[in-house]
Each structure stands twice: as C-alpha cells, then as structure tokens.
Structure 1
Amino acid sequence: MYLSSYRLGDHADRLFDLMRGKRRVGIVANALDFIPDDARQRYEATIYSPAREMSDLGARPEYLDLRAYFGKSDALEQALEEIDLVWVLGGNAFLLRRAMRQSGFDNLILKFLREDAIVYGGFSAGAVVATATLKGIDLMDDPHELVAGYDPTITWEGLGLVDFSIVPHYRSDHGEAEAAERAVAYFEERSLPFRAIRDGDAIVVEGDTISVLSNASR
C-alpha cells in the first residue's frame, strides 16, 4: 500500500516499485462526488488531472466509478481483476467510505490484498479510509455530506488495512492544515495510535513493514 498526504507525493517511485512493472491503474474519485461534474471537469482540464499525471509516468489509467457497482459487487470484483493499482483520490472520506460499502469494495479490497493481487494507493481521504476508524476525521471532513444514491448512514469503520489513524495535510500549505491540527489533538488527548503526514509524505506498507517516507525535518 502507498498512502500519501497529497496527490502522488514526493515518492511516486516507491508506488511504482510496489506495482512490479505493472501499469494498469483504476482511479477511484468518489470522494469528490459532492462536486458537480462540470466543475470537476474544469479542474482536471486547467489545474490537475490524476489520469494525466499517471499517464505521464507511464501508467495506463482509467476511472473506476464505484457508483456503477452499488449493489453489484460481483461486477466490481471482475473490474478489479483487470487492474494492478487502485488509486483512490482525496475529497470527503465519509462519502468515499459510503461508496466503498455500497459497492462491496471494502470486502473485495481485503481479498485482493490478501492474495497480493493488487496494490492499494491513495491520498488524503483515500489514505484515511485505509485505517480502522474514521472517528477524529470528522474534525476535517463532514460526515453528513451526501449525494443522490448514497446511503445516509455514516460508516465510522475504516477498511482496517492499517492499525493506526492517518492525519493528512499536517503542517502543510493546504486548506485543511488547521483542521489537521485539531485531528492530531483529538488523537493525542485520547492516546490513540496515529500518524500525521505532511504533503509530500507517504506511508508505504509492504507485508509487515511500514515506512513513513518524508523529506521534511520533524
């Protein structure tokens, strides 16, 4: 797994190392579903396109919209079999978690990772949902954010891929940096396990080995 604070971060080479030369990427952008399609298209065209970034690095990306698989986990399993990396974008972690639950992605990703058949990567919300719980992340993201077709029930459990919480954008030049400080305080006050990562940082999980990659002085 490759869990980044912001976009690919400063260690994209490690992400591609995990892929072992494979190049098929499924981009999950459901954390952004609260943003109108036209605004998202303008942003990708003029500011930042994750698909273009992946293509420039030699990958073969395509979007994997989990809404198309709500209630269709068998179809999603077939789609996941055709990709080597699932790259999960930032946005609202609670909306993303709903999409993962309603599509069956949450159970399927556990299966694929156990079989070492896929790499899970993501940034911001995409990293946060890999943890055991989203409690504390409600200080950064609105858990009540909804879009048509989404179940209003809040899912507080993360995917459980790591046994600590992740706070992205910590002490970074990012709009959520102040909220990240509040989240860090939440975890510290309760003596809960967490990792706070700055933009540029990434957490790499290979088997039982967990590494925090950072160019910033602590």
Structure 2
Amino acid sequence: MKFYLSSYKFGNDYTQILNMLPKGAKIGHINNSRDWLGVNEENKQKALKDEMEFLEILGFQCEHLDLKEYFGREKDLKIKLDSLKGIWVCGGNTFVLRQAMRLSGFDNIFKDLQKDENFFWGGYSAGICILCDSLKYIDYVDDANNFPYIGITEPIYEGLGIFDYALLPHYKSDHEESEMIDKEVERCINNKWLFKALKDGEIIIKNS
C-alpha cells in the first residue's frame, strides 16, 4: 500500500500524488470522521465537495464512499474497495471514524488491502491518526465518547497499526487544534510514547 499522509488537507506537496496513482484512477472519499454528533452538516458537505473536486482537478475519478452504507455489509464493502485504486480519508473525529470502520468491516478488509502494493491511501488529520497502533495519543484532541452510530457505546482505542507510534498533526500551526496538540506532545513525552509531530503543510510518503 502507498501512503500519502498530510497534516492538513492535501499538504504543500500534493503533486506527489500524481506519481503514486495512474491518471484517471478511481478514488473513494471517506468522510465518516465528520459524522460526530453535533457536526455542522453544511460545513461537512462543503468540505466533502471541495476535496472531491480537488482530487478530480488532479486528474482522478472521485466518488463518495460512505461507510455507513456498508454497516453489516462487509462483503459488499470489499467488492467496492476492490473496484477502487485508492481512498482519501479526511480529517475529523478519529474515534468516530474508527467506529465506522468497525461497523462496516473495513478494519478486517484493511488487513488484506494493505498487502496490495499499488493501493493508495491518502488522508489528513484523523485520516492519518487512525493508522497508528493506538488512538490514546489523541485523547485530548478528539472526543472518544461521541457515539453517532447504533451498536457502539464504548470508545475503540485500537488503531489500524501501520505505525507503532503517534502521528500528531497541526503541530505549531494556524489551526484550532494546535494548542491541544501541544498538550498531546507533552503527554507523549511524559509517558515516553514515541511520536512524530507534523506542521500543517507537511506530508509523509510511505510504502508498506
């Protein structure tokens, strides 16, 4: 799997995506991290529209991949993901995104999907934090006890496990969560947890 991981939105080096996917590749946009209770629906839809349009401007086909439509339908989600060349996972509440992945079976599918060296994972904020071994690193920033979906009433702290350390976005950046990220950095240091902090604009490119 190819990973393009940004602190915020598409980062300052988004043309790198053009080297990671063939022109015209079909990408599924996952924005379930914005399903939290109390979300501003107008802002949520605008962000979805803007990000999908940006991916299309880059030369890709983009469709909304709403994991809610696949709750209890893991086989159907696998068929859908097999039809795509990659996904874009947006920012929001990482714990809510994790719940959606559990209910749809995405976390099970991911175990096999990551073995595909050509499959693309792009994302930012929650879309990169979810790849860590644990979500404990962002417990100050994201509300772990926001439960928008029927069937889950306890936080899921297990991440997808690509990284065995914390990825902390929005570090020292002009972002509303930057101050809380400072506290997460301090907590990681105090607990001797490994971490990598990213400023908005910075990206990580990784092949698994």
Q: 1:111 & 1:22 partners in 2: Cα distance?
A: 24
SS of the residue aligned with 2:145?
A: coil
- Residue identity opposite 1:14 in structure 2: Q
Verify the 8 A CA contact 2:94 2:126 in the aligned structure 1.
yes
TM-score w.r.t. length of structure 1: 0.88
Task: Name the residue aligned to 2:115.
Answer: 114
> How far apart, CA to CA, are the structure 2 residues paired with 1:54 and 1:147?
28
Give yes or no for contact 1:22–1:84 (8 Å, CA) kept in 2: no
Instruction: Please state how far the C-alpha of 1:63 moved relative to its aligned partner.
Output: 0.5
Matches within 5 A, 1:28-107: 28-34=30-36, 35-41=39-45, 43-44=46-47, 49-107=50-108
- Distance in 2, matches of 1:132 and 1:92, equals 16
Deviation at 1:121, TM superposition (A): 1.6
Q: What is the TM-score when the length of structure 2 is the normalising length?
A: 0.92
Distance 1:139 1:44, change over 3 A: closer
Q: Deviations over 1:111-130 (max 9, x none)?
A: 11213251112100010000
Partner of 1:3: 5
Q: Which moved more, 1:135-144 or 1:18-27?
A: 18-27
Which residue is equivalent to 1:212? none
- Aligned to 1:166, the other structure's residue is in SS state strand
**Residues 206, 20 of structure 1: CA spacing in aligned structure 2 closer, same or farther, 3 A cutoff?**
farther
Give the conservation status (yes or no) of the 8 Å contact 1:94–1:155.
yes
Using CA pairs under 8 Å that are at least 6 residues apart, name the structure with larger relative contact order, 1 or 2: 2
Unpaired runs of at least 5, structure 1: 208-218
**How far is the alpha carbon of 1:193 from its aligned partner?**
1.3
Residue deviations 1:141-189, cap 9 Å, x none?
0001121435122110100012221100000000000000001111111
C-alpha displacement at 1:20, in angstroms? 4.3
One-letter amino acid of the structure 2 residue matched with residue 15 of structure 1:
I
Residue 17 (structure 2) aligns with: 15
- Contact 1:31/1:90 (8 A) holds in 2: yes
Deviations 1:16-69 (A, max 9, x none): 32224462110000000122534423x349xx7111111111111001000111
| 1:71-128 Cα deviation digits (max 9, x unpaired) | 1110000000111111100000000011111111112122112132511121000100
Higher mean Cα deviation, 7-16 or 132-141? 7-16
The count of residues paired between Structure 1 and Structure 2 equals: 204
Query: Does the Cα contact within 8 Å between 2:23 and 2:59 map onto a contact in 1?
Result: no
Structure-2 separation of matches of 1:89 and 1:115: 21
**CA RMSD, Structure 1 to Structure 2 (Å):** 1.7
Task: Give the whole-Å Cα distance in 2 for the aligned partners of 1:55 and 1:143.
Answer: 33
- The answer to whether the 8 A contact 1:172-1:198 is kept is yes
Percentage of matched positions with identical amino acids: 33
Matching of residue 160 in structure 1 with residue 161 in structure 2: yes
Instruction: Determine helix, strand or coil for the equivalent of 1:132.
Output: coil
The CA distance in 1 between the partners of 2:74 and 2:117, in whole Å, is 19
